Structure 1
Amino acid sequence: MRSAKGIFSAKPKVWLVLIIIAYFISRFALLKTGFGLDPDAWRIANSAFDLHFLGYYHPSRLPGYPLPELIDSILITQGWIATNLATSIISLLGITFFYKILSKLRMKLKLLITISFALMPSVWINSANSMDYMWATSFLIMALYFLIDEKVCISAILLGLSSASRMSNAIFVVPFAYWILSSEGKRNEKLRKTIYFLCLTIVIAGIFYIPIINEFGLKFFPHLPGKMTKILVAKNLVRTFGLLPCIAVPLALIYIVSKTIITKSSRRRILIFSIISMILVFGLFAKIPYEACYLLPIVPIILLALTTGMSRKALLIISILLIQPSIFTFRPQKIIDKGAILKNIRHREQQLDFAKRIISEASHKHSVFVIGTWLPVVTYLKKVEFLTEGEMIYFERKFPNKKFWDHEKDVWFAYLLTDDDLNYFKGAKYEIFFLPGIDEANRKIYGVDLRVKGAKEMPIH
């Protein structure tokens, strides 16, 4: 039997194998429970389903997330286990390349930092669902590795794939361009490389957006929802990353930036790259702060910045704080509560159960059921039901993400209803129902009061 000392002195490759095994074990319960808690994960599944089975591509939501939608369309026949597993594999590649970046730059505690990145709640959860966050982040990490390795062509291709997963990641061309221009060599040669990098990145990403541009033209950016209050944004950040990391990490960054800028550190180039990236990402987030996970691509770069000047003890503390919300959380009523992972598993199970209850309750023929963000979940489950029974699947080609028609019962499921929608359905003698709370959302967004218009609340809670 090997001693404890022998185990902990094992070679990095042995540790990586053990981490890979632990990685998939830790994700297993999430992989088999729906496409994810975020309704957008189900929208991606519907986009993939329609492309595979109906031969029609529509983005899950604008401006489009074509790369994961395309890959998922190949895997959708095997359901959510296959698409979630694809996300897990690409995420594992990203985590592995993050370790390789830390190794290449000779950063301290590289294994611990990698583990903390893999086990922080936002990464853990989004590496085991069908969302696009970790697709974009993983390709970004790989692009950064090859940029540091001076393989500009490969880096540009990977950044293009990252942008094809989430268009917002295209902003990283700016810090990537800085990295090339700040490298050693002749000015003209560096400028040529930078232009080549930018053009190749745009071409690779642009290829994936051709179907969307063809359908919507160049005006394919979504209408943004109402403004978010600062309190709500703060709550989202704490729920996604944890309270203590949201306090400790900004303080640590302020310390690192001030220390490195003043003392002309050899890590200055890495830090400037990180600062440019953070300014761009946080600036964009300030404009569209609707989901805290929009910040996920900057997380590995923040960790990279922290390793440039923090002591081993400080990095150990930061790593523990990053992982802690995954395992347990603090609540005023309960002091210590379940962590984000167990909560996510339970909520995903409840999501599936409630969606099936909606379908079961929607038994009135010639009716409309307004179900808000439950629409993509119900739509996918109904499509699978029709496919299993060999029935035809009908959908609104113009607004596939807003309505779905159960032709057997002549039942419509709708996200929300505009005044025109309501007048049409009432004119056609449809009975209209809505989930509890949806009437308020409908009134806020479209100014239409479903109750006043004669709609009834569904007897479901």
Structure 2
Amino acid sequence: MSEKLSIIGLSILVFCSRLPFLNTGYGNDPDAWAIANAARHIATTGEYSASRLPGYPVPELLYALIWPSTPFILNAVTALLSAIGFIFFVLILRTVKSQNYMWGGLALAFSPVIFIHSTNAMDYIWGLTFILGSTYLVLRGNTLTAALFLGIAIGCRITSGAMLLPLLLLVIHQRGNVDKKLLVKFTVIACGTGALFFIPVVSEYGLGFASFYDSYPPLLWVIYSASIVVWGTIGVLALLLAIFIQVIKLKSNLFPYLMVHYTKEKLLVIASLSAIILYLIAFLRLPHDGGYLIPLIPFVILLLSRFLTRPLYIFVCIAVILSSFLITVEKNKITIMGPIFNDHQERLEKSVYAERYLSVTKNLDQKSLIVAGPWMPQMTALMPPDQTEFVELAYLIEEQTLQSYIDQGFQIYYLAGQRELIRDTYGFDLEEKGARPLVPNEKQDVKW
């Protein structure tokens, strides 16, 4: 009983730790605002609209059911799911007899990328929680219910389908044999459930809905996103140090050590490694956000619990937890303030910018086009309908399209950072086309 109370108590702690960060808009990611816009559209029109393709129907539709809601409410749903995910992961670690599973659960819950994305309206934590639920149910022998959970995870994020292979391996691990009929049933239920959620997406956008953004960021950004964004500065250093110490300590005994620890449960290890490898491959194909790596974090922690000694494992877990609260490393600065506080501060700053933009748009009395870029979802969410009579918003705009607006008599404005974005993307200068900043003389280097 005391163990159950400890798990419940820590899950409440996880949820409460999110509360101070829930009331600053829908998040620091434009896609979080896009999900809120999609929920509003679905709720008010009864027609499905994707926040962005390939669609994230489970959170979009469920948010629509509780619309209208404040940002705090939508963000609180994500925070609650993160607490449930913590419970599932602790139970997973306990089921596979991992050492110090409470520490492992806390390391997952407080890893910077998960902490941040459990305080906004994004879909990452939705997918993760149902993946963890599916994994736990597989390990407990509830195979078909686990398949249903995986199907829901796919409905949250289509990339959750990458967990099919690891979970099939875990089914074999749990049962101790290859039951082909059961594996087929698992696959059909998981894929079928996921497909059901995408019916409105296909109905609205056709079979070409599974489209992705193709540009590739610089290599340093990819490395940064896969390391510091996910584990934090302290966490990355602790991980590297702990693994180095363990390898040095074992020296020539490393291979026998691995064989002794992993041979008895090789399918569990292979399943964990396959999940890590599959999500790494997916990330390296489109490495735009460290959040894409969220599904592999629990499996890394699980393997670390097997490989590291108890003191080293606890050391890494504590370091990952602290990483959310201490030291943020970004392109041009290093601050003592941790990523969760840095994210919150940026959300507050963007709220100030957005309110300033809205106050200006109220006074626009001629046809105006505002090139908003990543500001567009936030502006769309905040702008009252009566302000759209004279104002149109554009995310990005090509030179020919811009000229057509100018020919129709539109005054062109742009928001912070968009002059540089258009110049880098399309190779022309907005100001040379007569555009001007919506708010003159404001700082342009706002981070998105």
Report the TM-score when normalising by structure 2.
0.89
| Contact 1:419–1:448 (CA under 8 A) maintained in structure 2 | yes
Shift of 1:68: 0.5
**1:407 maps to 2:388:** yes
Q: 1:411 to 1:186 in 2, by over 3 A?
A: closer
Q: 1:186 to 1:175 in 2, by over 3 A?
A: closer
Q: 1:212 aligns with which of 201, 204, 222?
A: 201
Matched to 1:357, the amino acid is: R
- Superposition pairs of residues 151-230 of structure 1, within 5 angstroms: 151-184=142-175, 187=178, 190-230=179-219
SS in 2 for 1:279: helix
Q: 1:91 to 1:422 in 2, by over 3 A?
A: same
Matched to 2:264, the amino acid is: S
Aligned partners of 2:133, 2:57: CA distance in 1, in Å?
A: 19
Partner of 2:272: 274
Partner of 1:357: 356
Q: 1:278 to 1:252 in 2, by over 3 A?
A: farther
Shift of 1:13: 2.6
Aligned partners of 2:364, 2:8: CA distance in 1, in Å?
A: 54
Shift of 1:439: 2.0
Partner of 1:291: 289
Partner of 1:106: 97
Q: 1:437 aligns with which of 400, 403, 417?
A: 417
Partner of 2:84: 93
Q: 1:183 to 1:239 in 2, by over 3 A?
A: closer
Aligned partners of 2:255, 2:428: CA distance in 1, in Å?
A: 53
Of 256-265 and 235-244, deviating more is: 256-265
| Contact 1:76–1:82 (CA under 8 A) maintained in structure 2 | no
| Contact 1:44–1:131 (CA under 8 A) maintained in structure 2 | yes
Aligned partners of 2:113, 2:9: CA distance in 1, in Å?
A: 22
Matched to 1:449, the amino acid is: D
| Contact 1:175–1:273 (CA under 8 A) maintained in structure 2 | yes
Q: 1:259 to 1:278 in 2, by over 3 A?
A: farther
Aligned partners of 2:15, 2:121: CA distance in 1, in Å?
A: 15
SS in 1 for 2:51: coil
Q: 1:216 to 1:21 in 2, by over 3 A?
A: closer
Partner of 1:68: 59
Partner of 1:394: none
Residues 187-219 of structure 1: CA deviation (Å, up to 9, x unaligned) = 4xx111111111111110001111111222221
Shift of 1:283: 1.0
Partner of 2:233: 243
Partner of 2:259: 262
Q: 1:345 to 1:104 in 2, by over 3 A?
A: same
Partner of 1:4: none
* Structure 2 residue ranges without an equivalent (≥5): 248-253, 444-448
Q: 1:265 to 1:331 in 2, by over 3 A?
A: same
Shift of 1:184: 4.3
Matched to 2:376, the amino acid is: L
Partner of 1:380: 381
| Contact 1:271–1:308 (CA under 8 A) maintained in structure 2 | no
Q: 1:21 to 1:177 in 2, by over 3 A?
A: closer
Aligned partners of 2:35, 2:294: CA distance in 1, in Å?
A: 19
Work out the percentage of aligned pairs sharing the same amino acid.
28
| Contact 1:252–1:306 (CA under 8 A) maintained in structure 2 | no
The aligned length equals 429
Shift of 1:97: 0.9
Partner of 2:135: 144
Aligned partners of 2:370, 2:160: CA distance in 1, in Å?
A: 37
Aligned partners of 2:51, 2:256: CA distance in 1, in Å?
A: 44
Q: 1:89 to 1:223 in 2, by over 3 A?
A: closer
Q: 1:215 to 1:153 in 2, by over 3 A?
A: same
- Superposition pairs of residues 288-367 of structure 1, within 5 angstroms: 288-329=286-327, 337-362=336-361, 363-365=363-365, 366-367=367-368
Shift of 1:45: 0.3
Indicate the structure whose relative CO is greater, using CA pairs within 8 Å and at least 6 residues apart.
2
- Superposition pairs of residues 12-91 of structure 1, within 5 angstroms: 12-91=3-82
| Contact 2:40–2:67 (CA under 8 A) maintained in structure 1 | yes
Partner of 2:446: none
Matched to 1:246, the amino acid is: V
Q: 1:298 to 1:427 in 2, by over 3 A?
A: same
Q: 1:253 to 1:298 in 2, by over 3 A?
A: farther
Q: 1:122 to 1:258 in 2, by over 3 A?
A: farther
SS in 1 for 2:198: helix
| Contact 1:260–1:268 (CA under 8 A) maintained in structure 2 | no
Shift of 1:260: 5.9
Aligned partners of 2:410, 2:136: CA distance in 1, in Å?
A: 57
Shift of 1:36: 0.7
Matched to 1:356, the amino acid is: E
Aligned partners of 2:344, 2:334: CA distance in 1, in Å?
A: 21
Where has structure 1 moved over 4 Å in runs of 4 or more? Answer: 182-187, 250-261, 330-336
Q: 1:275 to 1:86 in 2, by over 3 A?
A: same
| Contact 2:138–2:146 (CA under 8 A) maintained in structure 1 | yes
Aligned partners of 1:338, 1:186: CA distance in 2, in Å?
A: 50
Q: 1:144 to 1:54 in 2, by over 3 A?
A: same
Matched to 2:372, the amino acid is: I
Matched to 1:262, the amino acid is: M
Residues 275-322 of structure 1: CA deviation (Å, up to 9, x unaligned) = 111111111111111101100011111111111232110111111121
Shift of 1:169: 1.1
